[in-house]
Amino acid sequence: MEDRNMKNPLYLQTKMENIRRYSHDALFQFPKKERYLLCRQIEDCIERIIREVIRFQKRYYKKNTLQEIDIELEFLRGLIREAREESYISNGRLADWMGHVDEAGKILGGLLKFYQEKEAGRSGK
């Protein structure tokens, strides 16, 4: 992934939409009893992240919104690990899913670093 993608909020939104599609396929394989609890939590978490990414694009002060996205991404990782612990997904599915989430985390990290440097440059002037 190129450095310019790390600073592009639209790339993060696209990545999260890809994660939503991947998650939909993965969640379809969960047992029926979990579709209304763990599946719903995972879907809601992804929707909150996408909503926060959109909010990030519209705000002037972006750092707090990026921190909210970071918190939600970590919560999503926890839910995915919980699904593996309950044996709802295989180790291969876990690795693929976490790979997608980690890539979104790297994009988010690039955005955080960019806006922290931008803020430091503005306050240093």
- Reported as a single tens digit per residue, the pLDDT across 27-40 is 998 998 888 899 99
State the CATH number of the domain containing residue 15: 1.20.1440.60
pLDDT of 117:
86
For tokens 């503005």, name the residue. 122
Q: Which helix (H) or strand (E) holds 87?
A: none
Mean pLDDT score across all residues of the chain: 89
Count of structural domains within the chain: 1
In which domain, by residue range, is 71 found?
A: 3-124
80 CB-side CA count, 13 A: 28
pLDDT of 2:
46
Q: Extract the residue ranges of the chain whose pLDDT is less than 50.
A: 1-2
pLDDT of 33:
87
Q: Judging by beta carbons within 10 Å of its beta carbon (0-12, 13-18, 19+), is residue 1 exposed, middle or buried?
A: exposed
Question: CA angle at residue 78 from 76 to 84, to 5 degrees?
Answer: 110
pLDDT of 1:
43
- From CA 2, how far away is CA 70, in angstroms rounded? 21
- Please answer whether residues 65 and 55 qualify as being in contact, where contact means their C-beta atoms are separated by less than 8 angstroms: yes
Which amino acid appears at position 32 of this protein? K
For tokens 């690990």, name the residue. 81
